[in-house]
Amino acid sequence: MTDVRAILAALVAFDTTSDRSNLDLIAWIEAQFARHGVWSQRVPDPTGTKACLWGTIGPRDVPGYVLSGHTDAVPVTGQAWTSDPFTLREAEGRLYGRGTVDMKGFIAACLAKLPEMAAAPLARPIHFLFTHDEETGCIGVRFALERIAELAPARPLAAFVGEPTGMQVVIAHKSRFDYCVTVRGRSCHSSLAPQGVNAIEAAARVIGRIADIGRRFADEGPRDGLYDVDVSTAQTGTIEGGTALNIVPNRCSFTFEFRTLAQVDPWPYDREVRAFACEEVEPGMKARDGDAGIEIELKNGIPGFESPLDSEAVRLAERFTGRSDHAKVSYGTEAGLIAAVGGIPAVVVGPGSIARAHRPDEYVEIAELEACGRFLDGLIAHCRA
């Protein structure tokens, strides 16, 4: 495992926190690709400060398989690390550093297998999709998927997204739709409250409707016991508004989200909240001030996905991991977009535990990287000529 340690150390040393560029890391991976004959193509974001990287080893005109991981990491600000988060530290079989488990460990395991892939040779290609800004809403992968026909002329048969699952095969995750709501009211002195339009009270009514939807999810289902949270959920996350108790607030903003089971269509709930705001709350506001109102903006949407148990993606993942147990998760991943936008069947499977992600002293175990290596050996054997 010396090679994978060295590769992971190099990847961790790049501070690819989501608000920073990942281009230096991408250039480093491109150099590894070039050494082993991997065809690669950058997919820059509109600013030119970040890029996804697509690579293919083996014949490009034959359907193959995708290994996908994100290069960005969450911030370390305010976290109590016991060592430099951007210097890999080994202790008691663990490798510590920001991104080790989420998910540079998986990327390192993939890059460590390039010599074996190059020597195979491969009858079916193995593709690599390394993305940016997954942590801020699965943004980068969308740019790559827009060009999937160019990047992979023969559409891949399956994608393995290496989020930390303990190498358990995750066959589904929920959708996640994030919203920002802005409520405009009219200020006045609180002693004259009826003359104003209280933006916080209007917001509270909409928030109450979102909470009602969440209660319906919990009470009426549907339910799926393979998820850690077996129902769809709705919740309000942040709220701001008002300046003083004696001033009727003229502005309030809040954020909310829906996370629906893969089989649940989220759009009826989107329409329900918008209709309630427009038809039940706004008329009373506008009767007192025509400029008052409510704006609901969808900030980001990640579709859910579910792979049938008899799909090639699931069957191969079971074979390569040696496991037949499955899970479904409530957090979102790029697998939903890869399946929905890219048209590529997907599963989520990778080394380590999601419980260690985003925390100080994040780590991946060497044994977990070795298990991922065995998974990749199975893929290489499957694709070998």
Residues 27 and 153 in one domain: yes
Domain count, the chain: 2
Both 136 and 190 in a single domain? no
Rounded to the nearest angstrom, the gap between the alpha carbon of residue 364 and the centroid of all alpha carbons in its chain is 19
Predicted local distance difference test score (pLDDT) of residue 224:
96
Concerning whether 377 is annotated as a catalytic residue, the answer is no
By C-alpha distance, which of 296, 278, 340, 351 is closest to 104?
Answer: 351
H or E element: which one contains 297? Answer: strand 293-302
**For the CA atoms of the chain, what is the radius of gyration?**
24
From residue 360, how far is each of 78, 82, 102 by CA, in Å? 9, 8, 12
Is 134 a known active-site residue? yes
**Mean pLDDT per segment of 10 residues, for the chain of length 385 residues?**
88 97 98 97 97 97 98 96 98 98 98 96 97 95 97 97 97 97 97 96 98 98 94 98 97 98 96 98 97 97 94 96 94 94 96 96 98 98 91
pTM score: 0.92
Domain that holds residue 80: 2-173+304-383
CA atoms of 55 and 114, how far apart (whole Å) = 11
Measured distance CA(282)–CA(275) in Å, rounded: 10
Per DSSP, helices labelled H in the chain are 2-13, 23-35, 105-112, 114-119, 140-145, 148-151, 199-220, 267-276, 282-288, 312-321, 335-340, 366-383
Q: Where are the alpha helices (DSSP H) in 45-159?
A: 105-112, 114-119, 140-145, 148-151
Residue 277's CATH number: 3.30.70.360
Are residues 257 and 144 part of one domain? no
Whether 33 and 166 map to the same domain: the answer is yes
The residue from 72, 133, 135, 334 that is catalytic is: 72
Domain boundary among 302, 333, 365: 302
Determine how many CB atoms are found less than 10 A away from the CB of residue 327.
17
Could you tell me whether strands 89-91 and 158-161 are parallel, antiparallel, or unpaired per DSSP bridges?
unpaired
Active-site pick, 102, 133, 134, 318: 134
Whether omega before 46 lies within 30 degrees of 0, making that bond cis, reads: no
Burial class (CB in 10 A: 0-12, 13-18, 19+), 291: exposed
Residues 186 and 293 in one domain: yes
Same-domain check for residues 294 and 308: no
Same domain assignment for residues 19 and 167: yes
Closest-CA residue to 182 (of 271, 291, 342, 77): 291
> Of 108, 85, 167, 163, whose CA–CA distance to 363 is shortest?
85
Shared-domain flag, residues 160 and 185: no
Pick the last residue of a domain from 256, 279, 302.
302
Closest CA to 140 of 269, 244, 251, 25: 25
Tokens read off for 302: 């990640």
**169 lies in the same domain as 154:** yes
Residue matched to tokens 């050494």? 35
Four-CA torsion 7, 8, 10, 15, nearest 10 degrees: 150
* Residues 6+ away with beta carbon under 8 Å from 283: none
Please tell me the predicted confidence (pLDDT) of residue 2.
Answer: 60
Is the domain of 268 the same as that of 341?
no
pLDDT at 228: 87
Same domain, 24 and 144: yes
Which of residues 273, 302, 331 is at a domain's end?
A: 302
Judged on CB neighbours under 10 Å (0-12, 13-18, 19+), 323 is middle
Are 57 and 18 found together in one domain?
yes
